[in-house]
Structure 1
Amino acid sequence: MSDHVRTAQTGAVRTILIDRPEKKNALTRAIYDSLAAAIRSADADPTVKVICLTGTGGAFSSGNDIGDFEAQPPVSDMKTGPHGLLCALRDAEKPLVAAVNGMAVGIGATLLLHCDLVYAGASARFRLPFVGLGLAPEGGSTVLLPRLLGPQRASEVLFFGDWIDARKALAWGLVNEVFEDADLIAEVRSRADRLARQPARLLRLAKRLMKQAPTSLDDRIVEEIDLIARNLSLPEAKEAFRAMREKRPPDFGPFDGQEQAASPPCSDGSGFAAQRRPE
């Protein structure tokens, strides 16, 4: 693993840190590969329920290290470089939570589109400068940004490449919430801990359903009703209803390692699970 990627785990929350503050956490091929490996490792580790991603120092990531980028241009290879990192983010079945401290530029911003929850410090700034650099947008941003922001705002972001401050990012829906810089990590950790107390299998199921494209809305409604009926007899639902009757918080810990048949894999080619690639 690159010296510029560190991991730490407290409880069921694995934190992955980009640690190159002297270069504003600019990403090299080695850092891409280490980040991808760290995400895949956390996703496969049964002791991990939530994966957090952040940067050290005053930046989340300033994007590609230009010198390294020119020396090693990106290739369409899902096991290495930018593509490898984006595939690891896309394939992750566990919740991905980003804490954006400072600038997020280029792929440092587009990778956030693959996270499930994004929180920002008040000084956070976002920029997607691809067109002005003579480059095409990347990270699936030409698909994901129009879905998230609408076509007009997505065009503004990608055509002009201007800075987006934290308040505008919140208003536009790029981030879930903005905190004072000094409070960001503690607030994100609090939310990650809350997620870790949820039933792990159901978190993965809800995420997969949101990622999987249904053939129609009616088909998805039918699928959800079927899943509700099947999950009613499983341990997580029994514990939740028992806890309500006993007026106490539910304890899903004993069930975290259990896989149940009520979480079937996606079957169509556009499905989230179907996109996973062998290592």
Structure 2
Amino acid sequence: MSEHIRTSQAGAVLSITINRPDKKNALTRSIYDSFAAAIRAADQDATVSVICITGAEGAFSSGNDIQDFETHPPTVGGQSGPGGLFAALRSAEKPVVAAVNGMAVGIGTTLLLHCDLVYAAASARFRLPFVGLGLVPEGGATYLLPRLLGIRRASELLFFGDWFDAQRALSWGLVNDVFEDAELLVKVQAQADLLARQPARLLRLTKQLIKQSPNSLEERIDEEIDLIARNIPQPEAREAFLARREKRPPDFGQFET
């Protein structure tokens, strides 16, 4: 594990912090690999229900460490470097929540497209400078951003690589909410704690449905109906229905994570 990836756990929430503040949390090959390993380990840990990611000391990530990137260029299909990190994020079955506390440049922004929930500090700034670096965008940004923002706005962000702030990211749907800088981590931990109290198996099923594209709307509707019918007799639904009748909060902590 790289010294620049720090993990900590509070209850069922596992936090992963990029810890290279002297370089604005720029990512090297070893950091990518440790980051991906931490995500995979958390996803397999029965005590973890939610994975949170953030950066240390006022920066989320300034992107690739250019010198390291030149020495270790990415490879297609590799399980190391940026590709390995994206693979770990895509394959994570548990919810991944990002707390963006400062600049998010390049992959610092594109990795957010693979998180389930994203919250930003008021001072957070985002930038996608790939073209100006003589590169093309990464992490499926040319596929995901047009679908999220529309072709015109995605093209503007990717062509020019200009900075945009947290409020603009919020208005575009790139982040779920914006909090004051001093409150960000506390607010995100509270959101993650709420998420961790949901039935873990149903969170995983719902995330799978959101991430996977059906062949048609009709196919997805049928798939959802089938899953609902299968889950009505399961313990989580029985507990939720009983709690509703008894007018109390459901207790999902008794079920597997």
2:204 corresponds to which residue? 204
Residue in 2 that maps onto 1:57: 57
Q: How does 1:67-82 map to 2 (within 5 A)?
A: 67-82=67-82
User: C-alpha displacement at 1:100, in angstroms?
Assistant: 0.1
Distance 1:29 1:229 in 2: 45
Residue 22 of structure 1: aligned partner:
22
Amino acid across the alignment from 2:39: I
Q: Distance in 1 between matches of 2:32 and 2:76?
A: 14
What is the distance in 1 between the residues matched to 2:47 and 2:154? 38
The equivalent of 1:44 in structure 2 is 44
SS at match of 1:254: coil
1:191 paired with 2:211, answer no
Give TM-score, length-normalised by structure 2: 0.99
Query: How far apart, in 2, do the equivalents of 1:164 and 1:89 lie?
Result: 24
- 1:98 equivalenced with 2:98 (yes/no): yes
Residue 255 of structure 1 deviates from its aligned partner by 1.4
What is the CA-CA distance between 1:78 and the residue it aligns to?
Answer: 3.1
Q: Please list the CA deviations of residues 29-51 of structure 1 after superposition, one character each: whole Å capped at 9, or x if unmatched.
A: 00000000000000011110000
The Cα shift of 1:77 comes to 3.8
Asked if the contact 1:50/1:97 (under 8 Å) is kept, the reply is yes
Q: CA deviation at 1:144?
A: 0.6
**1:108 — aligned with what?**
108
1:253 CA drift (Å):
1.3
Assess if the C-alpha contact under 8 Å between 1:50 and 1:192 holds in 2.
Answer: yes
Q: Compute the displacement of 1:220 (Å).
A: 0.7
2:3 equivalent in structure 1: 3
TM-superposition CA deviations, 1:84-134 (whole Å, max 9, x none): 001000110100000000000001110000000000000000000000111
Letter in 1 for 2:152: Q
Tell me the equivalent position of 1:260. none
Task: Write out per-residue CA displacement over residues 228-248 of structure 1, whole angstroms, 9 at most, x where no aligned residue.
Answer: 111110000000010011111
Q: CA deviation at 1:212?
A: 1.0
**Alignment pair present for 1:151 and 2:156:** no
Q: Secondary structure at the match of 2:111?
A: helix
Measure, in 1, the Cα distance between the counterparts of 2:89 and 2:203.
16
Specify the code of the residue in structure 2 equivalent to 1:181.
D
Secondary structure, in 3 states, of the residue corresponding to 2:136? coil
One-letter amino acid matched to 1:129: P
What's the offset of the Cα at 1:75? 1.2
Q: Provide the C-alpha distance between the structure 2 equivalents of 1:159 and 1:136, rounded to a whole number of angstroms.
A: 9
Query: What SS is found at the alignment partner of 1:156?
Result: helix
CA contact (8 A) 1:78 1:87 kept: no
Separation (CA, whole Å) in 2 of partners of 1:150 and 1:26:
29
User: 2:162: which partner in 1?
Assistant: 162
Q: What code does the residue aligned with 1:156 have?
A: E
**How far did residue 226 of structure 1 move?**
1.2
Shift of 1:76: 1.6
Aligned-residue Cα RMSD (Å) equals 0.7
Task: Give me the TM-score of the superposition, normalised by structure 1.
Answer: 0.91
**How far 1:79 sits from its partner (Å)?**
1.3
- Give the whole-Å Cα distance in 1 for the aligned partners of 2:78 and 2:206: 25
Partner of 1:236: 236
